[in-house]
Copies of this chain bind each other. A is one copy, B any other.
Amino acid sequence: MSTRIVVIGADATGMSAAHQALRSARSHGREVEVTVLEATEHTSYSACGLPYWISGEVPSGDDLVARSPEQHRAMGVDLRTGARVLRVDAERREVRYRHGGAEQVLGYDELVIATGAHPIVPAWAQVEGVAKPGLGVVKNLDDGALWLDRLTASSGRHVVIAGGGYVGIEMAEAALARGHRVTLAARSRLLSMLEPGMSALLADTLKAAGVEVLLDTAVDGVDHDDQGRLRAVLAGARRIEADYLILALGVVPATEFLAGSGVPLTERGALRPDPSGRVAPGVWAGGDCCEVRHRVLDDWRYLPLGTHANKMGRAIGENLGGGELVFPGALGSAITRFSAPGGYLEVAATGLNLQQARAAGFDAVEVVTEGTTASGYHPDAAPIRISLVGDRATGRLLGGQVLGGRGAAKRIDVVAMALWSNLTAHDLAWADLAYAPPFATAWEIISLASRRLAERLG
| Chain B residue, CB-CB nearest to A346 | B439
Central interface residue in A328, A407, A417, by most chain B CB within 10 Å: A417
Docked CA distance A333–B329 (Å): 28
Stoichiometry, copies per complex: 2
A46 touches B337 (CB 8 A): no
Question: A304 → chain B, closest Cβ, in Å?
Answer: 13
Chain A interface, number of residues (Cβ within 8 angstroms)? 66
Q: What is the minimal beta-carbon distance from A43 to any residue of chain B, in angstroms?
A: 14
In the complex, which residues of chain B have a beta carbon less than 8 angstroms from the beta carbon of A346?
439
Residue from B49, B166, B331, B407 within 8 A of A432 (CB atoms)? B331
Q: Mask for A37-48, Cβ within 8 A of B = 1, else 0?
A: 000000000101
- Whether the Cβ atoms of A436 and B334 lie closer than 8 Å is yes
Is A442 a contact of B307 with CB atoms below 8 Å?
A: yes
Most buried by B among A166, A440, A443: A443
A46-B442, A52-B378, A57-B379 as given contacts; A434 in contact with B409, CB under 8 Å: yes
**Binary contact readout A314-341 vs B (1 if CB under 8 angstroms, 0 otherwise):** 0000000000000111111111110100
List 27 interface pairs A-B (beta carbons < 8 Å), by A numbering: A46-B375, A48-B435, A48-B437, A52-B377, A52-B438, A58-B378, A166-B436, A295-B432, A306-B442, A307-B443, A310-B443, A333-B434, A334-B434, A335-B439, A337-B436, A348-B434, A407-B407, A409-B434, A410-B439, A413-B446, A414-B417, A416-B434, A417-B417, A417-B418, A420-B421, A420-B423, A420-B431
Q: Which residues of A contact B (CB under 8 A)?
A: 12, 46, 48-49, 52, 57-58, 63-64, 166, 295, 305-308, 310-311, 327-337, 339, 346, 348, 350, 375-379, 407, 409-414, 416-418, 420-421, 423, 427, 430-440, 442-444, 446
A329-B432, A410-B439, A416-B432 given; name 14 further pairs at CB < 8 Å. A49-B378, A52-B378, A52-B438, A305-B435, A307-B432, A328-B430, A332-B432, A339-B438, A350-B434, A410-B411, A410-B440, A412-B434, A414-B417, A420-B432
